[in-house]
Amino acid sequence: MSAGVGMMESEGPIVAVRLIRANPPAARERGAAHEAHSSEIDGTDALARPTDPLTSEGLDTAEGRSRMGDLYARAGLIPEAIFEYRRSVDLEPANAVRHFKLGLAYQSIRQFDAALASYQEAARLEPDSAWAHAAVSIVHAKMGHSDQAFDSYRTVKNLDDEMAEGLLEVILQYGNFHEV
């Protein structure tokens, strides 16, 4: 029995590599048949279609870098995600969402100073974003900065009362806060 036989299709690219190594001509024929069938279905040249979801946007665009960061973050590759998010921010520094994603990545590895700077920039760019101000509040609370945490909390309360209720519960768990 050759390698790759009996493997499930859901195992992804590794299976394809195993199949190609095990039986190159058959794998190539299956691949060519699939490409031809795909072209018949949508009327495009299969080889001209991008196979990478980033190709349509271009990797060296802010959107492409952000999407790549998202992929790395979902895979748990946070340093790689941070690299891509930083590139995204460099390419489009006025985009609050890109700064927010960078902050999330930094926060996930407990780099609170960097996370705070990213969230603060997102809040500066989008002053009406309750999410950005809530993130600033949470990081301040995690860092033990109670006054700053409550300043940001008050901003969130002015923007979104419902979000503020949940935020208060979150920031209270990080310290001995007595007043709001």
Q: How confident is the model at residue 152 (pLDDT cuts 50, 70, 90)?
A: very high
- For residue 47, pLDDT over 90 is answered with no
- Per-residue pLDDT reduced to its tens digit, 93-132: 999 999 999 999 999 999 999 999 999 999 999 999 999 9
Q: Which of 21-30, 59-68, 102-111, 157-166 has the lowest mean pLDDT?
A: 21-30
- For residue 9, pLDDT over 80 is answered with no
Find all residues with CB under 8 Å of 117, minimum gap 6, and list them.
Answer: 103
Q: Which of 100-104, 141-145, 167-171, 173-177 has the lowest mean pLDDT?
A: 173-177
Place of tokens 């969230």: 119
Q: How confident is the model at residue 48 (pLDDT cuts 50, 70, 90)?
A: very low
Alpha helices in the chain (DSSP H): 13-22, 24-42, 62-74, 78-91, 96-108, 112-125, 130-142, 146-159, 161-172
